[in-house]
Amino acid sequence: MTDPLTFYGIPLSSRLLLGTAQYPSPAILTEAVRASGAGIVTVSLRREAGSQRSGQTFWHLIRDLGVRVLPNTAGCHTVQEAVTTAEMAREVFGTNWIKLEVIGEADTLQPDIFGLVEATRILAKDGFEVFPYTTEDLVVADRLVEAGCRVLMPWGAPIGSGRGLNNVYGLRALRAHFPGIPLVVDAGIGTPSHAAQAMELGYDAILLNTAVAKAGNPAGMARAFALAIEAGRLAFLADPMTPRDMAAPSTPVLGQAVFA
């Protein structure tokens, strides 16, 4: 990338964060992470599977990739469950970073924004650096920042839906309202064009999983997303033209020959 990105003071070389679930095999996961160039991968404590052999093998695979781990509280539906999972994840993965999910609705996996703010306050006071999976709601974002978040992760669409950016207006307003906070679109991204669109809005990074893991060629799709994110960021920095309702000639008319 051409400009720096930091999360909680940590500089990053890539604006793509990649999930590690649902891949057909560990080898394909490894290929996809390397093809993406991602410097951060998200990992569920449930995937680590405690002391089971499968969990240990997975953890060794992640460490061998040389990427930074962002544990998450996926599957948690209450504040207490999310806080306990975060505390366990800190012990297992040795990091204060936590992607905080508190799910409030089963069909859409929409965040419970009230529980999210409460859990954030508890974890931030305990030294965690929270990456909250939230909506594009400005008031909720304000509360999360007040609670200690220095990164916000609004959804584009429901997790795993691949629908892209359901509320472009809301996402644009969030970007304008929080110019100094890193914003990451998390969930709902289905194609590289969705990712490029989010980056053109001025978002700082993209977190995705299903769109790569479920692709026919995960490594190829991971590479496509990496390029789309870079293109979107470069386009944003280049200050795109403002859309017009009417045509505007791109070729000067002065000096053209006039035929009588």
Q: Is 96 annotated as a binding residue?
A: no
Task: Answer for the pair 186, 155: CB distance below 8 angstroms, yes or no.
Answer: yes
Residues 6+ apart with CB under 8 A from 240: 200
Question: 3-class SS at 124?
Answer: helix
- Which residue in the list 36, 79, 98, 99 is annotated as catalytic? 99
Q: Is 188 annotated as a binding residue?
A: yes
> Is 99 a catalytic site residue?
yes
In the chain, where do the E strands start and end?
5-7, 10-12, 16-19, 40-44, 68-72, 97-100, 129-134, 153-154, 184-186, 205-208
Question: 3-class SS at 151?
Answer: coil
In 135-252, where do the E strands start and end?
153-154, 184-186, 205-208
Q: Is 156 annotated as a binding residue?
A: no
Q: For residues 2 and 145, give the distance between their C-alpha atoms in angstroms, rounded to a whole number.
A: 27
Tell me which DSSP letter residue 183 carries.
Answer: B
Looking up tokens 């909720």 gives 140
Task: Answer for the pair 113, 140: CB distance below 8 angstroms, yes or no.
Answer: yes
Number of Cβ atoms within 10 Å of the Cβ of 232: 24
Q: Is 20 annotated as a binding residue?
A: no
Q: For residues 187 and 71, give the distance between their C-alpha atoms in angstroms, rounded to a whole number.
A: 16
Name the strand (E) or helix (H) holding 85: helix 79-93
Q: Is 224 annotated as a binding residue?
A: no
Binding-site residue ranges for 1-deoxy-D-xylulose 5-phosphate: 160, 187-188, 209-210
- The catalytic residues are 99
Binding-site residue ranges: 160, 187-188, 209-210
